[in-house]
Amino acid sequence: MSLSVSRALALATCFAASSLAASVVEWQERSIYQVLTDRFALEGGGTARCVTDDRKYCGGTYRGIIDKLDYIQNLGFDAIWISPIVANVGGFTTYGEAYHGYWAQDIYKLNSHFGSADDLVALSNALHARDMYLMVDVVVNHFGPANSSASFESFNPFNKPSYFHPRCLITNYNNQTDVEQCWLGDDKVALADVNTENLWIVTTLNRWIASLVKDYRIDGIRIDTVKHVRKDFWPLFAAASGIYTVGEVFHSNTAYVADYTYVLDGVLDYPTWYQLFPAFQTSTGNLSALAEVILKAQRSYKTGLFGSGVFSENHDQPRFASLTTDTARIKNVIAFPFIHDGIPILYYGQEQGYTGGNDPANREALWLSGYVEEKEFVDHVKTLNAARKAAIATCAEYLVTPMEFPEVTATTLAVYKHPLLALFTNVGSHGTTSWDVQGTDYAPGTELLEVFSCSKVYVDSTGGLTALSTSGQPQLYIPASAPFEHCKNR
């Protein structure tokens, strides 16, 4: 079955949310802090134990997040992405409880572990009062694990096996039909794959997303498992939401991922991520591969990388600091999304130096950090957000200027995105390196501020800049005339 996109869009308008809803352009100037609702903050500031290996609910709530909005805003973020909000299957599976929120049972109820509907509305209101946006994670590809007819009966509204694809586990990720119509998971926990070819199901899901957005005044949705649903499902769903949509397409290949940028506002840019860690993990990492994948995405995604989300960590991948302890390399990786064309997303805990490995170890409770702000990476993140904001304020075209790579060598990478120039290196804390950047649009003699060290330099007579590093740290330059206040406060 295939609905034409135009018919889909026409149908969708009747469910569309209010015109005040946030669009892709409004999201582009923001930066997003991703939290796992269960792991970010306890209401009233508790510090209960949370053992990630147990895979159990640890007690984080919407009220907990509200209490910690100062922390997020102080880091410089003006949007948050929270876990899926709907009621999940209860009980304990081989892979624990549904504390992450991705195992829906009833899409018309909320996950009571995270709070009530009033609490979620209060979070949405509290964010909006600070001019911050709310992004909610949503899943349509599957419901929770289903092992028996009782499991199906407990689902709402898809309460019969016939609302799902016949059970078969995805084993061959190169077979797109399997990827779309078989089930995610394994023999122990298999996720019931919704029959998204059924028109009643399509209509139900579109009505559902329209009301969810309206009820909780959601500004954007992060859509889970996008590559597991036929592409022509998405335009209708996105239009029904009426807001910014960014899809998770977990794949390394830009050509594969590009197709999905034609059906949603953007993707979570896994191709960049795939090159990012290996590029910076050791001094033999391939920085040119990182530049190349970005150039490919700029050419092949519908609107280049603008409107997509870019991240260095998320809840499905081992944290970068679990792969190296070198703080200079970590700072390079943290900085990269902030000078990228995409919307920067920081996964909670990276700023606190968390080191968790594979799921579930990468889902640590943030309350155990004490939310300390006087910390090296916290300061790094604050500076990055402030520099990006200053760049946007200085130069209206910043958000539509594609990043360029005026220098790529074995160990250095220069990223130019006027008015910012970022210098990266993978030599590490004990390495020495230099950059010799030519071909910028800076006028000769322009005074530039290096935002991490607060030192100043002048652009040379040909518009170039040379820089030296003896500590492997990234460097980030902005014209000294830009409204960047951080150095004044130091």
Catalytic member of 38, 248, 269, 404: 248
Q: 182 vs 391, which CB is nearer to Ca ion?
A: 182
326 binds Ca ion (CB under 5 A): no
Q: Which of 384, 371, 320 is nearest to 350 (CA)?
A: 320
Answer with the entry of Ca ion, ligand ABC, none that 250 interacts with (C-beta below 5 to 8 A by kind). ligand ABC
Q: 228 vs 486, which CB is nearer to Ca ion?
A: 228
Answer with the entry of Ca ion, ligand ABC, none that 95 interacts with (C-beta below 5 to 8 A by kind). ligand ABC
Binding residue for Ca ion, selected from 61, 83, 88, 141, defined by CB under 5 A:
141
Q: 78 vs 180, which CB is nearer to ligand ABC?
A: 180
Q: Is 248 a catalytic residue?
A: yes
167 binds ligand ABC (CB under 6 A): no
The strand pair at 412-417 and 420-425 is best described as antiparallel
**356 Cβ contact partners less than 8 Å away, ≥ 6 residues apart:** 52, 318, 319, 322, 349, 362, 363, 364
Q: What phi, psi does 433 have (nearest 5°)? A: -155, 170
60 binds ligand ABC (CB under 6 A): no
Cα–Cα distance, 24 to 202 (Å, whole number): 24
CA dist 39 → 62, 145, 354, 468 (Å): 11, 22, 13, 40
Which residue, chain included where needed, has tokens 């790529």? Answer: 408
441 binds ligand ABC (CB under 6 A): no
Do 13 and 34 contact (CB within 8 A), yes or no?
A: no
315 binds Ca ion (CB under 5 A): no
How many C-beta atoms lie closer than 10 Å to residue 281's C-beta? 17
62-101 residues in contact with ligand ABC (CB under 6 A) are 95, 100
Q: 40 vs 237, which CB is nearer to Ca ion?
A: 237
119 binds Ca ion (CB under 5 A): no
Render the burial of 354-376: b for 16+ CB within 10 Å, e for the rest. Answer: bbbeebbebbbbbbbbebeeeee
Cα–Cα distance, 415 to 279 (Å, whole number): 14
Q: What is the DSSP letter of 345?
A: E
Q: What phi, psi does 488 have (nearest 5°)? A: -65, -30
Q: Is 224 a catalytic residue?
A: yes
Catalytic member of 38, 224, 326, 407: 224
Answer with the entry of Ca ion, ligand ABC, none that 381 interacts with (C-beta below 5 to 8 A by kind). none
106 binds Ca ion (CB under 5 A): no
Binding residue for ligand ABC, selected from 225, 261, 308, 312, defined by CB under 6 A:
225
189 binds ligand ABC (CB under 6 A): yes
Q: 141 vs 275, which CB is nearer to Ca ion?
A: 141
Do 191 and 184 contact (CB within 8 A), yes or no?
A: yes
Q: State the SS3 of 148-197.
A: CHHHHHHCECCCCHHHECCCCECCCCCCHHHHHHCEEECCCCEEEEECCC
Cα–Cα distance, 99 to 114 (Å, whole number): 9
256 binds ligand ABC (CB under 6 A): no
315 binds ligand ABC (CB under 6 A): yes
Q: Which of 244, 245, 247, 241 is nearest to 215 (CA)?
A: 241
Q: Which residue is nearest to Ca ion (CB)?
A: 228
Answer with the entry of ligand ABC, Ca ion, none that 348 interacts with (C-beta below 5 to 8 A by kind). none
222 binds ligand ABC (CB under 6 A): no
472 binds ligand ABC (CB under 6 A): no
Q: 316 vs 397, which CB is nearer to ligand ABC?
A: 316
359 binds ligand ABC (CB under 6 A): yes
Q: What is the DSSP letter of 452?
A: T
Q: Which residues bind ligand ABC (CB under 6 A)?
A: 95, 100, 102, 139, 173, 184-186, 189, 191, 224-225, 248, 250-252, 315-316, 359-360
Q: Which residues bind Ca ion (CB under 5 A)?
A: 141, 180, 193, 228
By annotation, the residues acting in catalysis are: 224, 248
